[in-house]
């Protein structure tokens, strides 16, 4: 691999950037769920089309935050205690969006080991770009109307229940251990789906007690529409149209983003994706410092996938 982190950063810097803070992990979990609560409170206070639309974008982007919390948990960077790290990543991240952090961890480590190569399990998320503007419009339309979300929901249920082998690329994966008995399949499904069911039932109950149970429809609608949209843009920005899988400066992309783009597509510093792939054990709150250190060391003087806005990336992705 060319242009590794050790080519630009000292051992002391790497040691500093890879330090994990439990308080930071707890704070980001609390902050994310407070924003979720605020979105529901806004609509409960003033239920109209404007507040509903605002809440949907708030919830969809915070569902992306839950995915990033799961991602941090998969990398064991949420807390210094492995038990607490896994508890936060599974129950306060993955479960809210129908995911399983433990299955995701195994899958995601393969992505880091083979980024951009033909056997990268996430390759399909970013492969095939650029496309035509018409093709991009069709993709984004499917996201907004819920077509992508329904497909993702079905896939998440089948993967969490251990029927399909875990895969996030959108490709239909093989059936998990098809030789299992009906009893084994049922036990696996109950065990796999339990966290998602519990968290979502608790969310519905909390809304019903605090205001009204119908507010849960906002969560479901955001999950089926806004969440797939922001997830698609994030995936394109991270790896689409990168040029060299064997170059750490060019197999992933960092996108600075306007303030509103960061809120929608890149909560929790996920826009610093090049840095994340250089050192996957760096917690999200250290990534801006790592980027600044790489920049000061001249890492980007002769290239590197760093762009200013998500709008710029999406224009490139729909330029055929």
Q: What is the pLDDT along the chain (320 residues), one digit of tens a residue?
A: 899 999 999 999 999 999 999 999 999 999 999 999 999 999 999 999 999 999 999 999 999 999 999 999 999 999 999 999 999 999 999 999 999 999 999 999 999 999 999 988 898 888 899 999 999 999 999 999 999 999 999 999 999 999 999 988 777 788 888 889 999 999 999 999 999 999 999 999 999 999 999 999 999 999 999 999 999 999 999 999 999 999 999 999 999 999 999 999 999 999 999 999 999 999 999 999 999 999 999 999 988 999 999 999 999 999 98
Across the chain, how many H-helices and E-strands are there?
Answer: 15, 2
Please, are residues 72 and 283 in contact by the beta-carbon 8 Å criterion? yes
Domain ranges of the chain: 5-122+132-317
Please, are residues 306 and 274 in contact by the beta-carbon 8 Å criterion? yes
Residue 84 in tokens: 């607490």
- Distance CA(230)–CA(218), nearest Å, equals 16
Residue 148 in tokens: 């992508």
The 10 Å Cβ neighbour count of residue 67 is: 24
Residue 318 in tokens: 């729909």
Report pTM. 0.96
**For residue 126, how far is the Cα from the chain centroid?**
14
The pair phi, psi for residue 256, each rounded to 5°, is -60, -55
């Amino acid at each position: 691999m060319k242009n590794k982190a050790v080519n630009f950063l000292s051992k002391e810097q790497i040691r500093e950037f890879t330090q994990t803070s439990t308080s930071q992990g707890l704070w980001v979990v609390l902050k994310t769920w407070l924003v979720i609560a605020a979105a529901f409170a806004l609509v409960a206070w003033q239920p109209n089309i404007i507040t509903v639309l605002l809440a949907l974008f708030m919830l969809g982007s915070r569902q992306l935050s839950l995915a990033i919390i799961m991602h941090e948990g998969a990398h064991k960077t949420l807390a210094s205690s492995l038990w607490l790290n896994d508890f936060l990543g599974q129950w306060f991240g993955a479960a809210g969006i129908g995911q399983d952090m433990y299955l995701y961890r195994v899958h995601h480590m393969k992505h880091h080991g083979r980024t951009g190569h033909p056997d990268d399990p996430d390759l399909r998320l970013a492969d095939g770009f650029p496309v035509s503007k018409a093709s991009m419009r069709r993709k984004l339309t499917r996201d907004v109307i819920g077509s992508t979300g329904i497909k993702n929901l079905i896939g998440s249920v089948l993967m969490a229940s251990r029927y399909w082998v875990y895969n996030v690329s959108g490709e239909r994966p093989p059936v998990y251990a098809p030789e299992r008995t009906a009893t084994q399949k049922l036990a696996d499904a109950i065990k796999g789906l339990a966290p998602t069911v519990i968290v979502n039932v608790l969310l519905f109950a909390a809304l019903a007690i605090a205001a009204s149970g119908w507010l849960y429809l906002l969560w479901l609608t955001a999950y089926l529409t806004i969440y797939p949209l922001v997830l698609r843009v994030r995936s394109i920005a991270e790896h689409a149209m990168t040029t060299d899988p064997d170059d750490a400066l060019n197999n992933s992309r960092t996108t600075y983003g306007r303030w509103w783009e960061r809120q929608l597509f890149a909560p929790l510093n996920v826009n610093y994706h090049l840095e994340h792939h250089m050192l996957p054990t760096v917690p999200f709150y250290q990534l801006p410092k790592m980027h600044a250190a790489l920049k000061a060391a001249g890492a980007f003087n002769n290239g590197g996938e760093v762009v200013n806005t998500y709008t710029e990336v999406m224009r490139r992705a729909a330029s055929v």
